[in-house]
A and B are shown apart, each in its own frame.
Chain A
Amino acid sequence: AQSVAQPEDQVNVAEGNPLTVKCTYSVSGNPYLFWYVQYPNRGLQFLLKYITGDNLVKGSYGFEAEFNKSQTSFHLKKPSALVSDSALYFCAVRDSYSGGYNKLIFGAGTRLAVHP
């Protein structure tokens, strides 16, 4: 079955420190991977995506993600965390059985808390 796992419910990091939010996936064929962020009482906002090419993908707000095919991972990273980065982060993979349609399978989300 195709799935996305975000093993940490919450990640705590001090402002200015690097952050990593983990994601692993299971999908048939080539994975198409996404990261979204959700601030309180808001809709999801797109951060970045991996389709093909460089394993390091750069996105919005200084975030980047590293695709690792052998480990089936797509971890989200940022070199220096800001308090304003505190939010709920979702990893998603496109369902490879969706006939080319953009059906996304989301992970359960990881709450990032950045402390001053």
Chain B
Amino acid sequence: DTAVSQTPKYLVTQMGNDKSIKCEQNLGHDTMYWYKQDSKKFLKIMFSYNNKELIINETVPNRFSPKSPDKAHLNLHINSLELGDSAVYFCASSQDTLAGGPYEQYFGPGTRLTVT
């Protein structure tokens, strides 16, 4: 009965590879997010989707492409991985921010990506 789940938990890969991280929430939320937490624990939003529509798109290399097949899922695909992509990536969800709020976000356990 995990609220926000991510797979995989750990991902070790070589430079130049392409990888995906999957996220699912069973909270019935309309909005989902991807965050990057670097080695100094600094947390920054990358993308957000509301009802499968991209609403927040921060300055992120276009090697990163989010996809939301339905409002319970938000995946992150990364092409041509670089050393600097090593970080922990968190998925989160919240109620529809345009229907009141602001609402708190519920975070997944994170995916630790290591690029060698």
Chain A positions near chain B (C-beta within 8 angstroms):
32, 34, 36, 38, 41-46, 49, 51, 88, 90, 94, 98, 100-104, 106, 108-109
Contact = CB atoms under 8 A, between A and B. Distances in A.
B105 interface: yes
A90 B92 CA distance: 15
Residue among A45, A102, A103 facing the most chain B CB atoms (10 A cut-off): A102
B24 to A, nearest CB: 14
A43 B108 contact: yes
Contact of B94 (A51, A102, A108): A102
Contacts of B4: 43
Given A43-B90, A90-B43, A106-B44, A101 B97 contact: yes
B102 A94 contact: yes
Contacts of B97: 100-102
A8 B94 CA distance: 29
